[in-house]
């Protein structure tokens, strides 16, 4: 790098460097404002190295606890990272233009890992011999944690995408200076999509649509995608794509995820299109083929009565062929679809003579329903009476396809919600875990000084404060582990006796409430339910501990566990107490992580127990709710649904 001459430097630049040489406070300011520590190393006496106070504080140490020696950091750095740091130093020593810039791990005083970006520069004498080295630390622990979370989310997204049977592609909009979308860059594609287009993922991801599939521009598909992005609305279309070594029909659904991200779901419907075209061409010549076609097909007259149906139609709707004459086509539609047909579809159909892929919900003879898309054409000979006009319709059952689309949209919403909750949870967890550490950091010097000055009362008070902080930190860690277990543990379902599970959970809770006057009634029924017993125990302990904690001072606490079974055999478990109660407006938000309605001094706790309970219920398909009023107790109800196998004897 070519250095500036004195004449080339701005006068403020020269003044700044002069002040740095004469005013050490500027260096301290720069370190406090932008760095997490400085070090200065004597390369001619390599055992000597000055470590700034901020350097030591980064790893949890007071200034006096770490000597100004290189031996300290070499012992506390990760062994593998030490090799990396030495290699980077040797490369920089050989060639000053090779920067010394490494990311390494250190062991914090508390035992945790601290990630540091370490940058340094060797200072050489007039002969080019290295004599000193200056370096700066930047704490990147939070960044590394977020990178790990992002890697996990990306892995989860890939798994979800590859389980979907339809082709899925995600594009990012490429805009010109006028903010007009001029191309799309493919940023993700699942395995099904690669199979459908006959390309490997590496050949298409990261490239523009105009490069890989230019036929989209020739056929107008790109315009449809651009319109979906501009209007923020889902676009559905079916197109014959005969370009780029492809010759297929595709059902396509383009859904904007944001103003610049478009998710495209598509499926090859070439076979269906071929059958549909063949049937339309041959319908009047081969009546027997009409009956035997695998398609769900029917013919209706101008008055809307069914004239003929295919065998597949009879199988799909559950009618015998002799039952069909006299039926109207609307008899196999739900009420909602009948209204849609009469008000929207049929007027346009009789005017235009055709309709394509009209979505209906169809009703079978036994009352069950399925989703389908109806395509139809009408035929009327010259001078024919309108009542004698015949139309032919083909129905494609699309229940599974539509469900896949709904599942995809739900998955996208779920991922967005998980990401948002994870960000909130990480922030709150970081804040709450720092609080007991700050207390320890405050009272530990007081304890040391009181011990040194032989002041036992002050020492006892400091020691008690540190004990409380440690208990608080331990409680938070246990709660966080339970919360993590409730989300990530694989469900290992088995049969559990509900009454016995409640009794076992109360034994655990009762040992923590020694001295507290609390009576407990276990009126739950001895039903056997299917669940993960570990998570069920965490759920019950959380709810019973919550009931025991929020009691009115000076009164005898009363906790009652019971079950309620309705006429449909749905089971609901209740945990009631006579404690301080809750405001109905707070009933929903108490299930969010780290939400507390009272101070730590009033009612100590982690703020995670009810969030853990809600997660356990959600994973089992249960519902949990809280009711109550201030001063009149609270009731937590878990709706288990039809989860009972049998009533056991007790």
- 495 and 634 part of one domain: yes
CA distance 543 to 635: 10
Q: Is residue 643 part of a domain?
A: yes
Q: Is residue 404 part of a domain?
A: no
Residue 28 or 134, more confident: 134
- For position 582, what pLDDT does the model report? 80
Query: DSSP alpha helices (H): ranges in 100-182?
Result: 141-163
φ/ψ of residue 171, rounded to 5: -120, 150
Q: Tell me which of 230-234, 474-478, 554-558, 565-569 is least confident.
A: 474-478
Residue 23: pLDDT band with limits 50, 70, 90: low
Q: Residue 309: pLDDT above 90?
A: no
pLDDT tens digits, one per residue of 110-161: 999 999 999 988 989 989 899 888 888 889 888 888 888 877 767 766 666 6
- For position 180, what pLDDT does the model report? 92
Residue 26 or 399, more confident: 399
- For position 348, what pLDDT does the model report? 85
Residue 605: pLDDT band with limits 50, 70, 90: very low
- For position 182, what pLDDT does the model report? 93
pLDDT tens digits, one per residue of 162-172: 666 788 888 99
Q: Tell me which of 62-76, 264-278, 458-472, 552-566 is least confident.
A: 458-472
Domain encompassing residue 565: 489-650
- 582 and 565 part of one domain: yes
The answer to whether 608 and 479 have CB atoms below 8 angstroms apart is: yes
Residue 324: pLDDT band with limits 50, 70, 90: confident
pLDDT tens digits, one per residue of 445-458: 877 877 888 888 87
pTM: predicted TM-score of the whole model, two decimal places: 0.35
CA distance 268 to 377: 23
- For position 234, what pLDDT does the model report? 92
**CATH for 562:** 3.30.565.10
Q: Is residue 647 part of a domain?
A: yes
Per-residue pLDDT, averaged over 503-516, amounts to 74
Length of the chain in residues, anyone? 650
Highest mean pLDDT among 3-12, 192-201, 281-290, 503-512: 192-201
Q: Is residue 383 part of a domain?
A: yes
* Domain end residue (candidates: 108, 139, 170): 139
- For position 171, what pLDDT does the model report? 92
pLDDT tens digits, one per residue of 413-440: 766 765 666 565 555 555 455 556 666 7
- 628 and 503 part of one domain: yes
Domain count, the chain: 4
Residue 484 or 99, more confident: 99
Per-residue pLDDT, averaged over 70-85, amounts to 92
- 236 and 306 part of one domain: no
- 311 and 376 part of one domain: yes
- 172 and 134 part of one domain: no
**CATH for 262:** 3.30.450.20
Look at residues 123, 119, 170, 116 and name the one whose alpha carbon lies nearest to residue 144: 116
Helix (H) or strand (E) holding 442: helix 399-452
Residue 339 or 580, more confident: 339
- Mean per-residue pLDDT of the chain: 80
**Structure-token pair, residue 506:** 């109360």
Beta bridge partners of 358: 374
CA distance 571 to 645: 11
* Domain end residue (candidates: 139, 158, 173): 139
Distance of CA 262 to the CA centre of its chain: 19
- 135 and 151 part of one domain: no
The answer to whether 136 and 119 have CB atoms below 8 angstroms apart is: yes
Task: Calculate the CA dihedral of residues 32, 35, 37, 40 and round it to 10 degrees.
Answer: -110
CA distance 387 to 377: 16
Look at residues 172, 197, 324 and name the one whose alpha carbon lies nearest to residue 250: 197
Cα atoms found within 13 Å of the Cα of residue 93, Cβ hemisphere only: 12
- 214 and 125 part of one domain: no
Question: In the chain, what percentage of residues exceed pLDDT 70?
Answer: 77
Q: Widest CA span of the chain, in angstroms?
A: 117
- 176 and 124 part of one domain: no
Any residues with CB less than 8 A from the CB of 230 and at least 6 apart, and which?
181
- 504 and 587 part of one domain: yes
Q: Residue 46: pLDDT above 50?
A: yes
Q: Is residue 15 part of a domain?
A: no
- 238 and 359 part of one domain: no
- 79 and 163 part of one domain: no
- For position 21, what pLDDT does the model report? 67
Residue 485 or 565, more confident: 565
pLDDT tens digits, one per residue of 236-253: 998 888 888 888 899 999
Per-residue pLDDT, averaged over 30-54, amounts to 81
């Amino acid at each position: 790098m070519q250095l500036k001459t004195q004449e080339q430097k701005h006068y403020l630049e020269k003044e700044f460097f002069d002040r740095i040489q004469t005013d050490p406070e500027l260096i301290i300011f720069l370190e406090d404002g932008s760095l997490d520590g400085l070090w200065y190393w004597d390369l001619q006496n390599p055992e000597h190295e000055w470590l700034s106070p901020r350097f030591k504080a980064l790893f949890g140490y007071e200034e006096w606890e770490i000597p100004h020696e290189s031996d300290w950091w070499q012992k506390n750095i990760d062994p593998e990272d030490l090799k990396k740091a030495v290699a980077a130093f040797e490369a920089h020593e050989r060639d000053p233009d090779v920067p010394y810039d490494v990311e390494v791990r250190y062991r914090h005083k508390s035992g945790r890992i601290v990630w540091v970006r370490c940058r340094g520069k060797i200072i050489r004498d007039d002969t080019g011999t290295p004599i000193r080295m200056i370096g700066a630390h930047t704490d990147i622990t939070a960044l590394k944690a977020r990178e790990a979370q992002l890697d996990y989310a990306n892995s989860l997204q890939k798994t979800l995408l590859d389980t979907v049977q339809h082709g899925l592609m995600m594009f990012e909009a490429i805009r010109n200076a006028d903010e007009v979308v001029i191309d799309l860059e493919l940023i993700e594609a699942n395995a099904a999509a690669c199979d459908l287009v006959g390309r490997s993922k590496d050949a298409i991801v990261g490239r523009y649509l105009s490069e890989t599939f230019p036929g989209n521009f020739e056929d107008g598909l790109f315009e449809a995608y651009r319109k979906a992005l501009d209007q923020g609305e889902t676009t559905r279309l079916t197109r014959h794509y005969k370009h780029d070594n492809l010759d297929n029909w595709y059902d396509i659904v383009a859904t904007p995820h944001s103003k610049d991200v478009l998710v495209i779901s598509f499926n090859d419907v070439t076979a269906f299109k071929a059958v549909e075209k063949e049937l339309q061409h041959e319908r009047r010549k081969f009546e027997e083929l009409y009956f035997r076609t695998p398609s769900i097909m029917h013919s209706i007259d101008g008055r809307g009565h069914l004239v003929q149906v295919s065998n597949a139609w009879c199988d799909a709707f559950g009618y015998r062929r002799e039952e069909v004459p006299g039926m109207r086509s609307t008899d196999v539609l739900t009420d909602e679809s009948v209204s849609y047909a009469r008000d929207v579809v049929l007027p346009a159909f009789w005017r235009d003579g055709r309709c394509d892929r009209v979505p209906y919900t169809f009703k079978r003879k036994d009352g069950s329903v399925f989703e389908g898309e109806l395509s139809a054409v009408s035929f009327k000979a010259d001078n024919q009476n309108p009542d004698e006009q015949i139309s032919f319709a083909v129905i494609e059952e699309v229940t599974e396809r539509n469900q896949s689309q709904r599942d995809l949209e739900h998955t996208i919403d779920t991922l967005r919600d998980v990401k948002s909750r994870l960000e909130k949870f990480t922030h709150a967890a970081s804040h709450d875990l720092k609080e007991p550490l700050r207390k320890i950091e405050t009272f530990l010097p007081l304890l040391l000084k009181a011990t040194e000055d032989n002041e036992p009362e002050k020492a006892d008070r400091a020691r008690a404060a540190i004990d409380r902080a440690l208990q608080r930190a331990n409680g938070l860690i246990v709660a966080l582990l339970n919360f993590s277990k409730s989300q990530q543990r694989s469900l290992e379902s088995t049969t559990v006796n509900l009454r016995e599970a409640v009794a076992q959970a109360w034994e655990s809770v009762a040992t923590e409430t020694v001295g507290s006057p609390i009576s407990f009634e276990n009126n739950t029924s001895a039903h056997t339910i299917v669940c993960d017993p570990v998570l069920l125990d965490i759920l019950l302990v959380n709810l019973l501990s919550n009931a025991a904690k929020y009691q009115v001072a000076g009164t005898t606490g009363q906790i009652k566990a019971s079950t309620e079974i309705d006429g449909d055999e749905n089971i609901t478990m209740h945990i009631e107490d006579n404690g301080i109660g809750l405001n109905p407006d707070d009933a929903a938000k108490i299930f969010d992580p780290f939400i507390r309605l009272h101070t730590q001094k009033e009612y100590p706790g982690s703020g995670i127990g009810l969030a853990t309970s809600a997660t356990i219920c959600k994973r089992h398909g249960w519902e949990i709710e809280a009711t109550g009023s201030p001063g009149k107790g609270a009731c937590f109800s878990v709706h288990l649904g039809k989860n009972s196998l049998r009533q056991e004897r007790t």
